[in-house]
């Protein structure tokens, strides 16, 4: 890391949401994942020098005036504080001047959309701007992972990559490459209104692996096959096959106990309305559903999802930029 300019009076950092199309949970064990950015759901962090004076009890304070964020409480808050400690150590920043960071987020928290990683990425870039430093993408990733590992335990890195991506990505063992998109269609993301429980889901899955010999290998193998088949369908213009792989992956996660009755009802509602496929997305035990639909069916799919209890919906074109429904 290297200084590039003089410290500024204030600076901002930005990040956005992401949605995992296929690969969650298995990605921790080395399987691939397909990740789409959701750039209309954003986080902005503003950093400025505080008037609290040197020697203030908290050298960096965080506020989120417009929305309750996981970054403000519990382990995710600890993650942001660890991130700032690592940032200052890496840059050799030890002047003792306190900093105030304000976080404005449109990403619903604990829904599997990457809110904590997006907050961390925005904070990293705000601090870098404030101190007059430039960051490589690799350095940014490492700092975001510092926060994610505190917030969620062992983190695959898929969220840290996805919240800064400008295009859909294949994520595999920490590395990424752009996905080839040969399909037309819309992804409809539906918020179940129920907070997801990523750490509980991870623990539940791990316990199942420990109690059933070969369960982990079977889960990872099945997830890998479905994700690779979905990647091929996405590239080759096979929306029906892609949709089927989504629903199959939901069945895999549901069999592992990671879905809920409310989420299952939303998946069924999307399929009944004509979606080509649907599944839970993210950590599980709550959170969001993602459904693939043809554009002409999107309105009916959204209507049925809302009638079945979805509190909010967003759309992401397979080709192009994200939008809001």
Which residues are the active-site residues?
159
Instruction: Identify which of 82, 243, 65 has the alpha carbon closest to the alpha carbon of residue 151.
Output: 82
Instruction: Identify which of 308, 233, 234, 240 has the alpha carbon closest to the alpha carbon of residue 270.
Output: 308
Task: Please tell me whether residue 232 adopts helix, strand or coil conformation.
Answer: helix
d(CA 16, CA 43): 6
d(CA 3, CA 149): 27
DSSP state string for 173-211: TTEEEEPP-----EEEEEE-SS---HHHHHHHHHHHHHH
d(CA 236, CA 228): 12
Pairing mode, strands 99-105 and 60-63: parallel
Q: Which residue stretches of the chain are H helix?
A: 74-91, 115-131, 137-152, 158-162, 198-211, 215-236, 239-255, 261-272, 298-307
Strand (E) or helix (H) holding 313 = strand 312-317
Structure-token match 């509190």, residue found = 311
Which residues, other chains included, contact 126 with Cβ-Cβ below 8 Å and sequence gap of 6+?
11, 12, 13, 45, 46, 47, 101
């Amino acid at each position: 890391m290297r200084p590039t300019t003089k410290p500024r009076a204030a600076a901002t950092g930005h990040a956005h949401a992401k949605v995992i199309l296929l690969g969650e949970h298995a990605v921790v064990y080395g399987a691939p994942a397909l990740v789409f950015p959701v750039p209309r759901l954003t986080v902005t962090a503003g950093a400025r020098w505080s008037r609290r004076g040197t020697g203030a009890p908290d050298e960096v304070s965080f506020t989120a005036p417009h929305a309750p964020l996981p970054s403000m409480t519990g382990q995710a808050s600890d993650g942001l504080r660890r991130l700032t400690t690592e940032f200052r150590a890496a840059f050799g920043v030890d002047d003792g001047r306190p900093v105030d960071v304000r976080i404005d987020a449109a990403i619903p928290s604990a829904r599997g959309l990457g809110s904590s990683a997006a907050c961390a990425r925005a904070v990293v870039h705000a601090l870098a701007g404030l101190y007059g430093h430039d960051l490589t993408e690799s350095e940014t990733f490492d700092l975001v992972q510092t926060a994610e590992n505190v917030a969620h335990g062992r983190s695959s890195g898929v969220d840290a990559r996805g919240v800064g991506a400008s295009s859909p990505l294949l994520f595999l063992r920490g590395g990424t490459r752009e996905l080839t998109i040969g399909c037309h269609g819309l992804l409809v993301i539906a918020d179940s209104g129920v907070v997801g429980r990523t750490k509980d889901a991870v623990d539940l899955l791990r316990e199942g692996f420990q109690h059933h010999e070969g369960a982990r290998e079977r889960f990872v193998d099945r997830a890998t096959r479905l994700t690779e088949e979905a990647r091929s369908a996405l590239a080759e213009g096979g929306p029906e096959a892609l949709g089927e792989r989504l629903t199959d992956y939901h069945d895999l996660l549901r069999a592992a106990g990671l879905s809920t009755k409310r989420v299952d009802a939303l998946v069924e509602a999307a399929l009944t309305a004509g979606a080509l496929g649907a599944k839970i997305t993210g950590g599980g035990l709550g959170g969001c559903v993602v459904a693939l639909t043809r554009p002409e069916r999107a309105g009916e799919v959204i209507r049925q999802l809302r009638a079945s209890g979805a509190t909010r919906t967003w759309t992401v074109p397979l080709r192009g930029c994200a939008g809001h429904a």
